[in-house]
């Protein structure tokens, strides 16, 4: 039988960069500067330039980028933050960890991103901020979200973990709100060889606060004006990220090619809805997520064909056990709950070959089409 097709073939993606990675490690071994130092400062300025932000502050993960971002914005117990229930756990986990309350609003089924009208309706006098998520690599409807924020005097922290390089109305993901958080988890479009993250901002005071917070709030060392944490990006990961950053644009093009081929290979399949790039958006396709009411059949077919697949995400956050005290019931957010039942991510890899994609598509079609008469 043919070789398995993973969701993302990282060894293949990294092979051309192996020499650069080894060089970065050798350089760091010679310098001995494992924490902070030149490698981190260099990557931060490259990242800021890449996304068009005035400041970038490297962090230990995307989660810690969000957490440090919230700490920099300053929350009080009882503060409410409006966000989406259809996202990775970290988005709401960090809000809870800061003693604030995530208040969820349902999603737009066409984009899986928060519905701006529902978001507006979730604002209360206790709301202090909005955390929109640019899910799967496509920006949320930031025009309307920023408008809501401005009218209610709220800050916006963008969870751009999956969306480096994405754009909305020509503006870069992460740079539209007060702060933007990126993740360099290996499966993100720009992944470290381990954990990493960053916060970007155009606000010098917030950037400065973040730099203090990521060192346990110390400045100078051992003098703590704030309680922060160890949220630092490793120098080694920064060096690896600098080695990968020049390849990001090419990988983005590769992902777009893969998406275009899926569009041809999967057009017109019964009970299958393909993802779309909204007008005015540049989608960077961190994930290629289809939906089907017959997901189990597709999952079985992909598994037996050796094709990687994943469900992002099977349980929306308002129904997570740890958030039971928030008091949400099943049915509260029908579109998020339907997405959790129907979505399925297919392999999306900048270097995915056409023959492999044809195998993915054949498995999907085979599972969803009753009759065995080929096309249409
Ligand atoms: C990956 C991700 C995070 C967390 O990033 P880590 O680097 O894994 O901590 C946060 N939010 C979203 C939407 C993510 O996809």
345: Cβ below 6 Å to ligand 1? no
Please give the C-alpha separations between residue 276 and each of 114, 193, 270, 294, in angstroms, as whole numbers: 15, 30, 17, 20
Q: How far is the CA of 85 from the centre of ligand 1 (A)?
A: 14
Q: Residue 201's Cα: distance from chain center in Å?
A: 17
C-alpha 150/C-alpha 154 separation (Å) is 6
246-273 tens-digit pLDDT: 999 999 999 999 999 999 999 999 999 9
Q: Measured from the CA of 184, which atom of ligand 1 is nearest?
A: 7
Give DSSP secondary structure letters for 320-348. -GGGGGG---TTSSHHHHHHHHHEEEEP-
Residue-by-residue pLDDT tens, the chain, 376 positions: 579 999 999 999 999 999 999 999 999 999 999 999 999 999 999 999 999 999 999 999 999 999 999 999 999 999 999 999 999 999 999 999 999 999 999 999 999 999 999 999 999 999 999 999 999 999 999 999 999 999 999 999 999 999 999 999 999 999 999 999 999 999 999 999 999 999 999 999 999 999 999 999 999 999 999 999 999 999 999 999 999 999 999 999 999 999 999 999 999 999 999 999 999 999 999 999 999 999 999 999 999 999 999 999 999 999 999 999 999 999 999 999 999 999 999 999 999 999 999 999 999 999 999 655 444 4
Model pTM score: 0.97
Per-residue pLDDT tens over the stretch 146-167? 999 999 999 999 999 999 999 9
Q: Which atom of ligand 1 is nearest to the CA of 135?
A: 13
Residues near 117 by beta carbon (within 8 Å), at least 6 away in sequence: none
Distance from the CA of 371 to the center of ligand 1, in angstroms? Answer: 41
Our CA dihedral for 124, 129, 135, 139, rounded to 10 degrees, sits at: 110
The answer to whether the CB of 87 is under 6 A from ligand 1 is yes
CB-CB contact of 368 with 346 (8 Å): no
Residue 185 CA: nearest ligand 1 atom is 7
């Amino acid at each position: 039988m043919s070789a398995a097709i993973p969701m993302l073939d990282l060894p293949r993606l990294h092979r051309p960069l192996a020499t650069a990675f080894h060089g970065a490690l050798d350089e760091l071994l010679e310098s001995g500067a494992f924490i902070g130092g030149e490698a981190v400062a260099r990557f931060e300025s490259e990242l800021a330039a890449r996304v068009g932000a005035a400041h970038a502050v490297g962090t230990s993960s995307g989660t810690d980028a969000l957490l440090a971002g919230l700490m920099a914005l300053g929350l009080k117990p009882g503060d409410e933050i409006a966000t989406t229930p259809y996202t990775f756990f970290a988005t709401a986990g960090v809000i809870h960890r800061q003693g604030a309350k995530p208040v969820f609003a349902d999603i737009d089924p066409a984009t899986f991103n928060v519905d701006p009208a529902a978001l507006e309706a979730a604002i209360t006098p206790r709301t202090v901020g909005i955390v929109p998520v640019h899910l799967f690599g496509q920006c949320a409807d930031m025009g309307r979200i920023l408008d809501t924020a401005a009218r209610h005097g709220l800050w916006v922290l963008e969870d751009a973990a999956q969306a480096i390089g994405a754009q909305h109305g020509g503006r870069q993901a992460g740079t539209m709100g007060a702060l933007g958080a990126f993740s360099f988890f290996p499966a993100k479009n720009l992944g470290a060889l381990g954990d990493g993250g960053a916060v970007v901002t155009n606000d010098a005071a917030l950037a400065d606060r973040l730099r203090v917070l990521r060192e346990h709030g110390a400045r100078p060392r051992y003098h703590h004006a704030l309680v922060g944490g160890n949220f630092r990006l490793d120098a080694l990961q920064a060096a690896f990220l600098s080695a990968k950053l020049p390849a990001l644009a090419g990988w983005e093009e590769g992902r777009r090619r893969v998406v275009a081929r899926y569009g041809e290979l999967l057009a017109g399949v019964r009970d299958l809805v393909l993802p779309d790039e909204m007008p005015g958006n540049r989608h960077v396709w961190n994930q290629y997520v289809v939906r089907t009411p017959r997901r189990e059949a597709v999952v079985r077919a992909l598994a037996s064909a050796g094709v990687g697949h994943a469900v992002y995400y099977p349980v929306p956050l308002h129904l997570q056990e740890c958030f039971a005290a928030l008091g949400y019931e099943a049915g509260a957010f029908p579109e998020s709950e339907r997405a959790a039942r129907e979505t399925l991510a297919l392999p999306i890899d900048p270097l995915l070959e056409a023959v492999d994609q044809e195998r993915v598509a054949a498995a999907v079609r085979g599972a969803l089409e009753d009759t065995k008469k080929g096309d249409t």
